[in-house]
Each structure stands twice: as structure tokens, then as C-alpha cells.
Chains A and B, each alone.
Chain A
Amino acid sequence: MMYSIDMAEPKPDPQALLPLPAATFHILMALTEEDRHGYAIIQDAFARTGGTLKLSAGTLYRSIQRMLEQGLIIETEERPDPELDDERRRYYRITKFGRQVGQAEAQRLSQLVKWARESGFAPGRA
């Protein structure tokens, strides 16, 4: 993992990370309610999309690595009950910045859908 040592560097603007890769957005959505480990994120995305999105393990962890570097998520030390826990698992939590970026992406998408409707590409009110 690489950290910049330049501590004075300001956090980037949420807009700067847009548009988000689909996998990143799904991971953010999976983490909005609770901390989750990798497999739980995959399952959440699968359920949320009605089985259409099957995140691969490689894509998941590559995205997680980048999201950690971008400060969208953090790895949390808090573990669930030891009976439910597998100690090899790592749990991730969305950051405040992660929420801002997720919201910005959602806004971008809804604006896009609005324009699509206006142009007649998508059904619904113009």
C-alpha cells in the first residue's frame, strides 16, 4: 500500500473521482448500512442487482485497494462476535468522504437519467 507522506495535501474534491467505476459504486452501496467483509460485499451486490452483477474476487480486491488509497473506505479493527467471525476476513467501513463521493455519483447518474428522459431515450416524465 502506498501512502503519500505529504500530509498537508488537501483531500480531493468528490467530483474529481467521478464517474466512478461500477464496481466501486456497488462496493460503496454495500457498505452504506454496515461494515462488511469481501464475500459479504459480493453477495450484497449480487442480491441488490437481482443476480445480474457478480463481482469477481480480483475486481473486488483491486477496487478495495484503490478505494483505500483514495480514502473512500477504511479497514476496520472492530470485529463481529468471535463465533460469527473468520479471523482471516477483513472488514471495511465507508468513510465520510466515501459517502460524499457516493452521493455525488448518484446525483450525476440521476441527472444523466433526467437528460435521457428529456431526449426520449428513457421512459418516464420528461
Chain B
Amino acid sequence: MAFYRFLLLLYPASFRAQYSEELCSLFALRLRNASNPVATLLTWVDALIDILLTAVQTHADILRQDLLYTWRTLRKSPGFAITGIIVAALGVGATTAAYTITDHALLRPLPFPESDRLVKLWEDMTPGNYRTLEVSAPNYQDWKQMSKSFSGMAAFRPLSVAMVGSGVPQQIEGASVASDLLPMLGAQPLFGRIFTAADDRPGASGTVLLSYSLWQRQFAGGANILGRRLLLDGQPYVVIGVMGRSFVYPRPDAQLWTTLRFTNDDFTERNNTWLRVVAKLRPGVSIEQARAEMRLISERLKREYPKDNEHVGVTINSLRDEISNNSRLLLYALLGASFCVLLIACTNLANLLLARGLQRRKEVALRKALGAGRERLVRQMLTESLVLAFCGGWLGVLIAFAAIPLLSRLIPTALPVAEIPAIDGRVILFALSITTLTGLGFGVIPSIRAASTSNVEGLREGGREGIGGKKERLRSGLVVAEIALSLVLLVSSGLLVRALWQLQQVNPGFRADNVLTLRTALQMPKYESTARRVQLYTRILPEIRALPGVASAGYTSFLPIVAQGGLWPVSIPGQEQNTDIALHQASLRFITPGYFETMRVPLLRGRAVTDSDTDKTQWVAVVSESFAREYFPGRDPLGRQFDFGFATRTIIGVVGDVCVRGVERTSEPQVYLSYKQVPDKFITWYAPKDLVVRSSLPSERLLPALRRIIAAADPEQPVSDVQTLSHIVEQDTASRKTQVFVLSGFTFLAILLTGIGIHGLLSFTVSMRTQEIGVRVALGAKSQNIVAMILRESLLLGIAGAFVGSALAYAAGRSLASLLAGVQPGDLNTYAAGLAVALCTTLAGSLWPTWRALRVDPMTAMRVE
């Protein structure tokens, strides 16, 4: 019988309270009537099925009833219903949007089969502070042959090629991949085939795979694409397949893939690091085991090649973790901020329901008097809050989906994931759970409180239970929590705004206004010879300089900020220096005359590179101020020599430092070399290809002229990456701007919700205290006294919230420290501004209730009593 009673727990408590005794006695009777063990067993089975079926039905009956009741009550108070739904929508919307982005970038598995086994390998040069350097071909080859931890290892390199064969020449981003890379990633073509080892062999005819979007965009999705011939950087390639729409590797902007063909020369330079390496762990091998094995291998390679490999270790990261700590921190901060908004929304809703519970205490008391149990009342009120939450949640999900394209700018582009996250079952499930939790979170306390109303107090006319008592303290506590949470968001976003301002004040080392930049990616091997390139520049540059409105123009290997690497070892002949190569590196750029002038990089000493610095004259270098300071401290750098870029160079000039790595990171010293002083076929990757033009003309007028001049010099030369230098500088801090924008958006929501919360609490207090206010006015209280009474209450809430919030905000600020670009987490100005906004919100929330209190007519107020 005990078991039968236990089964009855499946029924709603209200049903059990009414009928469990009768059900038990009926069941006991049936058991007594069972004449043999089989009949007894059948009686049990019968009872079990009966309970399971009817318990579900009874719950459904109650739910239907509660939903109907909720619908009727909400219809009677549309203001309450709409406020509740909007508040829930904002909370759920913010959290769902933030979760979708965080999940896409950080949590869900990458879109490859068994992606948890995929890792990326880098050369580790810890002495030079480089933990993730590209890998040299010989090291890659040795790693691949020696290691046992991986079921596959494949290299690739990013590729940027001029594509001819479908209209105007275009610069397309993609990757050259070893033929075993795509099978290792489990990638399948939409149609056609992927690379085989035969495509990878030297001398095989060129083959290319297109991305779905390139196929659609450039070839109109035509079915006859297979076998089509294309010219990539002047070399013929045949299209062998189109990849699926969802395939993304190595970055979202990769549009085509060719094979990575090694030449024998590639395997001779152990310090020429240019490969990216991906591997797949064997089943059962942990990343730690792989690291241990690779440590042994790198020790062995150090012994075998002490000159090149002395400082080279191996870094292994899970492919999933190839994301900077700052990006990760930022995404978690975003998620944290959205949870703050959700918490504030829940607190607000709880307060709204608590106040409503007080207004409805007569109704509750009456229902209790008529026999409704406490559980039944709690359940009914929870249904009401869940209905509000689900309506709000539904609206919130719509808001989230609308916001995702904006938020997706926060997804780091270094990840092989789609640019815009898909909205799928996982996200919907999250939204559903958050909504349910919200509904329960804000509904539980108010419904338990409301259901505890005692009959007598509830039914008494004019009862003012809950004012000044425990319930008011609870509601005030909730408002204090809201103010505290919004202060956390105010201070956090304030600190990030200050960091952004600070960065925007940093001088990048050049003047970005009125400069148009573009890339003429030189096709190799066409431009392998220096003379051929010089010919091109001398056709293009004078014509551009002759254009009306153009002040100056020049070429460089890479624009600052756009390309941040390009480091080469520096050594000073006859000077003792630390053997760590990595500690003595400078960024190398070949430039044409006119570059410094166009960029307005100040020439501090000596002269700039000129056309007369040829391979026949002394090989010269212009160095940055920091270079001179580091290598020739306290001495005149002019005329001094150093070894750099496989030659001895003489310093002829010193220029100001440029933020090559952008304004947020420390840049290495810079060295500029003459575009003519480089042997043929030598480091052609560094051949000047980025054009900068300073002009008073607007870009749209200047660009056609530039295109015409370039096309006249070489009709097959593509022009790409057209952008103003100001845009490049802006882009450097663009992700920060998005961060600040999004976080400020969340902060605004928080402030708005807090304002609504304060307003709601005070309005309620005022309406519950109408009689008291009436009596005070009748007894001669002046308007100032009434105003002071209401404002005192709101200010106390504000001050309490500010007190708690400041401590929390400091903790939040400290955890964001690495994103703050030097701004102190305890920055006083930011706190002052945050506190001011929080207090203004508190006061703004009190305005309407105060006005209402002032309009209380003592006669009407007292007549109610």
C-alpha cells in the first residue's frame, strides 16, 4: 500500500488532498477481492497504468484551467501584461543574442567531423615571445615523419591571387593546401572532386576548388564550371570541384583552394617559416600526450640543427582554441552583460508581480476561503508568470535574431566558422530554457508570498498589509539589486569607452587623412625580377603624381596595421649581442620614394630613399627612431651599418616610429629599404605592392584615374583592397567600437529596466499610501514635505544600490583589465559618471510617482477609508 501511496504522488497535490484516501481504500478493496497471485499482479498493473494515464490528464486539466484563468486576468490588466512581456522580451532577447554569438565562437564544436581531435601546430620561439610562429617546410616534414600521436598532419598557407577568366581581374583570398588537408577535415565537395596526391606533385597541371559563394557570384552557379580554365596570378588552373555552402577553412573569407606544392628548395631553409599546420590526434591520444611527444621531437631537431632550431619548440593548440584571450574575454564579458540585463529584467518582473500580488490579496483570500489550497494558488500564479515569460521569450527571440547580424561582427575572423551564426535547435533550446528559468525565477517568490496571505488580513477592507513591512523590504531589496547591476554595466562600458578614447588619441606615426590606398598584388613569376617591377613602378607612379589634385604617391611592401608581421633578424657587425635572434628583430618594408611624404611619416635625420639608391650603389636603410635608440643608443646612427635582409645596410636616415601592429600593441622597430636594392626572385613576397596616394580629390574621382593608369601599365594587373588610410586606422579600433556599442546597448537596456523598476515600486508605494498622504496633507503637510518623503525613499534605494554596485563594478573592471588599454579598473571619472547616471535614473524613475503624490486630494483619499 505504501508503494501505491507513493505512486499517487504523480497526481497534483490538490487532487491528492481530495481523493487519495478514497483511491487507497478503493485499491485496498480491489486487492482484497483478488483471489490469486495472478489477479493481484493484474490489479497492480491495472492501477499503475490507470495512475500514469489519469495523472497526466489531471495535470493537463489544471493547466488548461490555469491558462484560461491567466488569459482572463491578463486581459483585465493589459498595462501589467504588456510591461511584463516587454521586460521579459528585453531580458531573454539580450541573453539569447549574446549566447548565440558566444556559442558560435567559443562553445559549439567546429563544423568538422571529430573536430575535438583537430589541433594546430606552431613553432614556439618563447625567447622572442613568439609562441605561435608559422612552421618551416623542413620542420613540418620532420614533425610529420617522426610523430606518432597524429592520424594525419597537413600544411596550408593563406593565398591571395589575381583571378582572370571571369571578367575583370580580381583579387581573391583563399588557401594553398596539402592534398591531405581536406580529407582530414572531412570536407566533401558539393560536386566534382577534392585534391588527390597526384594534384600535389610538382609539375602536375594546376587544379583549383571554388567556394560555393565564389561559384555563385562569379560563375552564376553554372553547372558547366567543372573543367573550366582560370588564370590565377597568370598561371593556368582547372576547376575540379565546388565546395559545399557550409565549408569554411581556414577563414570565413577563403574563396578558393589550390594545392600546396613544395619544391626541393623549400626543404632547405629551416628558418623560413611560412606554413600553417593542422593535425588530427589519433583516437585515444590526448593533446597532452601529443605535446609530450612533440617536445621530444623538437629536442631532437635542436640537437640536429642547432643553428636554426636552437630556440624552436612546438606549440599545440586545439583548433577550437585558436582565438585570442582578449576575444574570448570580450565574448564572455558580453554574455555576462546580457545575464546582468536578464537578472535586472527578472528582478523587475518579480517586483511587478509582488506589487500585483498585494493588489490581488483580496481575490487570493477569497479563493482560499472557498477551499483553494496553497499549492494550487502557487501553481496558478506560476502559470501566469510563465505565460508572461513565454510571450516575452518569443518576442525576445525575434529581437535576438534581428540583432545577430550586428553582434556577429564580434566573432573573431581567425576562426573557421561561418560569419553569421545559424539559428538552430541548440539556440532555440537555450532560449526556451532561459525563458522557463525566467518565468520560474521571477514567479516563485511572488506567488509563494501571495499565496501565504492570511484570509482575515486579505479580506479586511482598506488593509495595507505589505507597506513598510517585510514585503516592502523585499521589493526595495530587488530595486537595490537592479541599481547595483546596472551600475556594474555602466562602469564596465564606461571603462571600455575610456579605453577606446585613449586608443583614438594614440598617434599612429602617420597622418591618415586624404590618403587612398590600394593593392596591386603582383603576379609571380611575372614580376620576379627587380628590374621588371621597377619598370612597372616607374610607369605608374609619375603618372599618378601628375594627376591634378594628387600631392604625392608611393609604394610599400605592406601597409601598417593591415600587415603586422614581416620581421627579420638584425645584427650589428662587430657588436656583441645577445644570441637570441628573436630579441633582435625589426619589421622590414621595401619602399619607393614618395612613401614617407605620402604617409607624412616625419623624417627626423638624414634623407629618405631615392631613385638613385640602386643595386649598383651603397645598400641603404632608413630606420625608425626606436631602431636607432635600441641599436645605437647615445650615438649618431647615420652612416652606421647593420646586417639585415641578407645584406649589410648603411643607415642614411631616421624617421618617426609607426604603429605597424596598430595602436593597441607594441610594434617592433622599423627598417625601410630601397625597392631597387633586392636581388631578383628574392623574397618576392616583400615586393612593394601597396600603393598610397595623398590627394585632395575624393576617392570616387581619384580611383577611376588610378585604375586607368594601372591598366595601361599592365592590363592583367588586378586592383584590390581599395580603402582610405583613415578607414584602415578606424578598422584598427573597429572591433572595439562594436564592443563598446553592444555593451552600451546592454547598459542602456539595463538603465531603462531599472528606471521602470524604480518607477513601478514608487508608483505602487504612492498608490498604497494614498490615504496616508491624504491625511498628511489634511493635517497641513506642505508639498515640499510630500516631495521630500518620496525622494528620500528613492534616494535611499539609489545610494544603497550604488554602494553594492561600486564594489561589484570594481571586480568586473578588474576582470576586464586586459581589454582596458591601460585605463585603471578603478578610474574615478568613470565611476563618477556611472554613479551620476544611476542616481539620475533613480530620480527620473521617481518623477511621475512624486507628481501623483502631490496631486492626492485629501478628501477623496480619506473617503476610501
Contact = CB atoms under 8 A, between A and B. Distances in A.
- Are the chains A and B members of one assembly? yes
Interface of A: 1-5, 37-39, 42, 56-59, 61-62, 64-66, 69, 86, 88-90
A5 B18 contact: no
Given A1-B376, A3-B371, A57-B26, A65 B18 contact: yes
Given A3-B367, A5-B367, A89-B22, A57 B372 contact: no
B419 to A, nearest CB: 52
A59 B52 CA distance: 11
Contact of A58 (B29, B50, B373): B50
B376 A56 contact: no
B23 interface: yes
B808 interface: no
Interface string B11-36: 00011001101110111010000000
B372 A2 contact: yes
A8 B845 CA distance: 39
B54 interface: yes
A90 B372 CA distance: 18
A123 B14 CA distance: 47
Scoring A3, A38, A58 by chain B CB atoms within 10 A of each residue's CB, the highest score goes to A58
A68 to B, nearest CB: 9
A65 B64 CA distance: 14
A37 B26 CA distance: 11
Interface stretch (B55-63, B602-610, B763-771, B793-801): B55-63
A86 B26 CA distance: 12
Contacts of A56: 46, 50, 54
B380 interface: yes
B359 to A, nearest CB: 14
B47 interface: yes
Interface in B39-86: 46-47, 50-51, 53-55, 57-58, 61-62, 65, 69
Contacts of A37: 22
B370 interface: yes
A90 B21 CA distance: 10
Contact of A1 (B21, B50, B57, B371): B371
B22 A90 contact: yes
A69 B68 CA distance: 14
B contact residues, range: 20 to 34
A7 to B, nearest CB: 10
A91 to B, nearest CB: 11
A88 B51 contact: no
A3 B25 contact: no
Nearest to B30: A57
A61 B23 contact: yes
A94 B380 CA distance: 28
Given A1-B371, A2-B380, 11 more contacts: A1-B372, A2-B62, A2-B372, A3-B370, A37-B22, A39-B26, A39-B29, A56-B46, A57-B47, A58-B50, A61-B15
Given A3-B367, A90-B22, A62 B58 contact: yes
Contacts of B53: 58
A110 B363 CA distance: 44
Contacts of B50: 56-59
B423 interface: no
Contacts of B19: 61, 64-65
A33 to B, nearest CB: 21
B54 A1 contact: no
A88 B65 contact: no
16 contacts: A3-B370, A3-B371, A39-B25, A39-B29, A56-B46, A56-B50, A57-B26, A57-B27, A57-B50, A58-B50, A61-B15, A61-B54, A62-B58, A65-B18, A65-B58, A88-B21
Interface in B354-378: 363, 366-367, 370-373, 376
Contact of A57 (B23, B367, B370, B376): B23
Scoring A1, A5, A57, A89 by chain B CB atoms within 10 A of each residue's CB, the highest score goes to A57
B92 to A, nearest CB: 29
A64 B54 CA distance: 12
Given A57-B27, A62-B58, A5 B363 contact: yes
Given A2-B376, A56-B50, A88 B58 contact: no
B65 A2 contact: yes
A58 B26 CA distance: 10
Contacts of A61: 15, 18-19, 22-23, 54
Contacts of A4: 69
A38 B367 CA distance: 26
Contacts of B47: 57
Contacts of B55: 58
Scoring A56, A66, A69, A86 by chain B CB atoms within 10 A of each residue's CB, the highest score goes to A56
A77 to B, nearest CB: 14
A49 to B, nearest CB: 18
B134 to A, nearest CB: 71
B625 to A, nearest CB: 82
Contacts of A65: 15, 18-19, 58, 61
Contacts of B23: 57-58, 61
B371 A5 contact: no
Interface in B325-375: 363, 366-367, 370-373
A46 to B, nearest CB: 12
B71 to A, nearest CB: 13
B25 A86 contact: yes
Contacts of A1: 14, 18, 371-373, 376
Q: Which 8 A-B pairs have the closest CB atoms?
A: A58-B54, A56-B50, A58-B50, A61-B19, A3-B370, A57-B26, A88-B21, A62-B54
A107 to B, nearest CB: 26
B1 to A, nearest CB: 14
Contacts of A39: 25-26, 29
Interface string B374-394: 001000100000000000000
A89 B24 CA distance: 11
A108 B14 CA distance: 34
Nearest to B23: A57
